[in-house]
């Protein structure tokens, strides 16, 4: 039987992976951390001598706990004010990309899956868990799990970029977008945006944000040009970042509100802009909620 130190060491060796699984399942860092904490409590209470594969046991525990939460989480999202976006996870520009390739765009596609499809896809395609382990986790036979994963893969496939954007190119476009919106550069914006570009902003009813997606190059150009005319205080860049795998940045905007901006890019043009302004989702950035708090 493991001692206390061994029990802790095994869990800590798996913690990062468990948090990633829970976050990808739930789209919320806070809920993911709660799930992993509950898994820790259960891990401490189990008879260690009966656990032949600790890593598999912990993944199974976190997945089942996440599935329990998804139903109530989706009910809360139906009452959510405006657009809902996953809580942003950011990586500073100088750090290596995340260990999986599940971008914010793909996280949004996962929202359209059933909980079991989402679990099967994530565990098999993203975290490389063997089919027999997934079957045991989800209480289905391997053939049923394979079908769940296939259906999920078809839904998600359309959201995958045909040609992944090189980090340097993504960074260049993110910088150009920030400066164009900052300077009211209409011609620059038109050169950056795809015709069918979609802007989605999440304020959660706690920060000013557009309640519905803004669709189309002309509408979005007019929107940013209008903001530039009406609000004379320029945005303040906090840092260039990757936001859930997409190029982007963190800033204090013209109204002083902290936000993250992530850009989906295809063929050198921005096809989607994801803006998160809900202060509850930005708390983990460790920054003041508004630029006024800096003074």
Distance CA 195, CA 187 (A): 14
187 and 248 inside one domain: yes
Q: Is the confidence at residue 114, as pLDDT, over 50?
A: yes
Asked whether residue 84 is assigned to any structural domain, the reply reads: yes
DSSP-derived secondary structure letter, 96: P
Nearest to 250, CA basis, from 94, 92, 83: 92
For the stretch 8-56, pLDDT in tens is 999 999 999 999 999 999 988 889 999 999 999 999 988 877 888 999 9
pLDDT at 196: 95
Residue 276 maps to a domain: yes
pLDDT digits (tens, 9 = 90+) for 139-168: 999 999 999 999 999 888 877 767 778 889
Residue 96: its pLDDT value, please? 44
Query: Are 129 and 12 contained in the same domain?
Result: yes
Q: Do 151 and 11 sit in the same domain of this protein?
A: yes
User: What's the pTM value of the predicted model, to 2 decimals?
Assistant: 0.86
Q: What is the CATH number of the domain that holds 24?
A: 1.20.140.160
The yes-or-no verdict on residue 3 having pLDDT over 70 is: no
- The range of the structural domain enclosing residue 30 comes to 4-157
Query: Taking Cα atoms as reference points, which of 234, 252, 111 lies closest to residue 179?
Result: 234
Contacts of 129 (CB under 8 A, 6+ apart): 56, 59, 123, 137
Does 141 lie in the same domain as 119? yes
pLDDT band of 92, cuts 50, 70, 90: low
Tell me, yes or no, whether 171 and 274 share the same domain: yes
The domain boundary, picked from 104, 128, 157, lies at 157
Most confident of 156-160, 174-178, 264-268: 174-178
């Amino acid at each position: 039987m493991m001692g206390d130190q061994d029990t802790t060491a095994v869990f800590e060796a798996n913690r990062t992976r468990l948090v990633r699984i829970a976050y990808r399942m739930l789209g919320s860092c806070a809920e993911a951390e709660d799930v992993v904490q509950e898994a820790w409590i259960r891990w401490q209470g189990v008879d260690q001598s009966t656990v032949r594969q600790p890593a598999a046991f912990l993944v199974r525990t976190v997945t089942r706990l996440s599935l329990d939460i998804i139903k109530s989480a989706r009910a809360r999202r139906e009452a959510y004010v405006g657009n809902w976006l996953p809580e942003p996870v950011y990586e500073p520009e100088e750090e290596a990309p995340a260990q999986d390739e599940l971008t914010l765009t793909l996280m949004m596609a996962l929202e359209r899956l059933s909980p079991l499809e989402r679990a099967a896809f994530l565990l098999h395609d993203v975290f490389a868990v063997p089919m027999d382990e997934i079957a045991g986790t989800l209480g289905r036979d391997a053939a049923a799990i394979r079908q769940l994963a296939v259906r999920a893969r078809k839904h998600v496939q359309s959201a995958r970029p045909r040609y992944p954007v090189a980090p340097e190119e993504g960074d260049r476009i993110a910088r150009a977008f920030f400066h164009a919106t900052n300077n009211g550069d209409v011609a620059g914006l038109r050169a950056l945006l795809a015709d069918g570009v979609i802007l989605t902003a999440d304020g959660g009813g706690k920060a000013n944000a557009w309640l519905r997606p803004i669709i189309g190059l002309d509408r979005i150009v007019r929107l940013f040009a209008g903001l530039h005319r009406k609000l004379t205080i320029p945005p303040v860049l906090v840092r260039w970042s990757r936001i859930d795998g997409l190029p982007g940045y963190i800033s204090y905007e013209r109204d002083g509100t902290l936000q993250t901006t992530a850009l989906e890019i295809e063929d050198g043009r921005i096809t989607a802009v994801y803006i998160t302004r809900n202060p509850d989702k930005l708390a983990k950035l460790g920054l003041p909620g508004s630029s006024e708090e800096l003074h």
